[in-house]
Structure 1
Amino acid sequence: MLALRSHLAATLASRTVAPQVCSSFATGPRQNDGTFYEFRTYSLKPSKMNEFLENFKKNVHLRTAHSELIGYWSVEFGGRINKVFHIWKYDNFAHRTAVRKALAEDKEWQEQFLVPNLALIDKQESEITYLVPWCKLEKPPKEGVYELASFQMKPGGPALWGDAFKRAVHAHINQGYTKLVGVFHAEYGTLNKVHVLWWNESADSRAAGRHQSHEDPRVVAAGKLFH
């Protein structure tokens, strides 16, 4: 369990289920417009987190001038602390290529943010994801607690796990303690991986709701889908 603090909205928690498995992944229909979401994670030097975040807060407008930022979080507690996690939206791969080229030519962004922060970052990771066909990206109603739950699915795609996983997600929603922000599946990165981004009013409401949801047979059944 990890909790992440959003520096644009609120606080987020993250869980990872099962080891990584690389395999072919059938994902079903995509969005017709090709929209995808890049998950980027920076591992920072422990003493440099505040410096990095202050620099980002001051200069984020330079980066969002090029493409849309969905959210930006840092780890609040859990195994992967000293990390920041952000989601960027792109219309298609040509759009991302154009954005990356523009950033390479943006001297103000490079001088004010990129170059000063390079010495603060130990590691960078990138993952390309799509929303699952039955999910739309939703905005949280207000500040609260976020949770990013990551699942390593059995190979086979939605034909194997799609319906049962959807039922499990909606079982959590029907409890009324949480709001679904988005369900994403990996296209580049570790395959057969699904990320579920939740919003909760508080950490305590999230904990109470999850205890209740574990009594739901749809949630129990979904556990059999993970590798």
Structure 2
Amino acid sequence: MLPRALRQSVPTLWRGFAAQAEASAPGLIEIREYTLKPEGMGAFMKVSAEYADVRKELLPFLGLFTCDVGSCLHRVTHLYAYDSFEQRDAVRGAAVRDPRWQQFIELSRPHVQYQENKVMLEAQPIYRALQLPPTARFAPPPKRPGKVVYEMRSYQLHPGYGSVPKLVEAFSAGLPAKVKADPEGRLVFFGHTDVGMLNNVVELWRYPSAQACIRARQSARTVPQWRETIAAVTPGVQHFTSAFLHPAPFSPWQ
């Protein structure tokens, strides 16, 4: 007999997830990146839009983004929130068996070159320092005129057990001052890998525009506490990347 979780309907699984995710700490955030065939970008996004409601029904879908600058331009990034690997297995297993999802995979797969994913843990000291809700509960503010940008910042740290805790500790001390100097940005996610390339730290910020992100950078450079934070963490960073992402029209996060 199948485990009880797999005998439940998907809507029931989803309601159970919502209740559990609110209480869970830390949450699991899965980041999936699909590098598409350049000529298939439009077709993939079209079929994704057509099956967006199915994705939202079956999976704990947070957002899907295309890259504007800073990374592969024919790559899509999407995020999901889970409370545990057991819950992830149950939800994804139910989705795989759904005929509608099977049809979406059949239509979208020809446009995909390869897929990557990683599961990340929310950095709880950062969330406490900034009094942030869990990422699964982030609610985008009302959209203003302009093109919303999500900036994804990724730090690859040196190997070793201490790399991530040291960075999280430093950021916990410095981020409140940085955020105070930046009224436009919203920190949506801050976490480190649990499965995937280890010692990888990812920040995801939301800005009302790309220029607002640049203004935030300029403001941060004038904040003494933030300058001290960067000086403290830089020796432990192997490389650092930044990319501007735009949410798809059907993305829950806008």
TM-score computed with the length of structure 1 as normaliser? 0.79
**Cα distance per residue 1:70-102 (max 9 Å; x no partner):** 111011122321000000111211111112221
The answer on 1:123 being equivalent to 2:114 is: yes
Aligned to 2:142: 142
Q: Percent identity?
A: 26
Rg larger in structure:
2
- CA RMSD of superposed structures (Å): 1.9
Aligned to 1:9: none
Alpha-carbon offset, residue 142 of structure 1:
2.8
Distance 1:80 1:151 in 2: 17
Decide whether the 8 Å contact of 2:123 with 2:168 is kept in 1: no
Residues 100-109 or 119-128, more deviating: 100-109
Distance 2:47 2:66 in 1: 14
The within-5 A match list for 1:106-185 is 106-111=98-103, 113-134=104-125, 135=127, 136=133, 137=135, 138-143=138-143, 144-154=148-158, 155=160, 156-157=162-163, 159-175=165-181, 176-185=183-192
Change (3 A) 1:159 1:189: closer
Distance 1:172 1:49 in 2: 36
Q: List alignment gaps of at least 5 residues for structure 1.
A: 1-30
Decide whether the 8 Å contact of 2:26 with 2:124 is kept in 1: no
Distance 1:93 1:80 in 2: 29
Aligned to 1:221: 228
Change (3 A) 1:153 1:62: same
Equivalent residue of 1:81, what SS? Answer: coil
- 1:59 aligned to 48, 51, 59, which one? 51
Aligned to 1:197: 204
| Paired letter, 1:71 | G
Equivalent residue of 1:119, what SS? Answer: helix
Aligned to 1:4: none
* Bigger fraction of residues in strand: 1
The within-5 A match list for 1:78-93 is 78-93=70-85
Equivalent residue of 2:201, what SS? Answer: strand
Residues 165-174 or 58-67, more deviating: 165-174
Equivalent residue of 1:65, what SS? Answer: helix
The answer on 1:206 being equivalent to 2:213 is: yes
Change (3 A) 1:206 1:159: closer
Number of residues of Structure 1 aligned to a counterpart in Structure 2: 196
Aligned to 1:45: 37
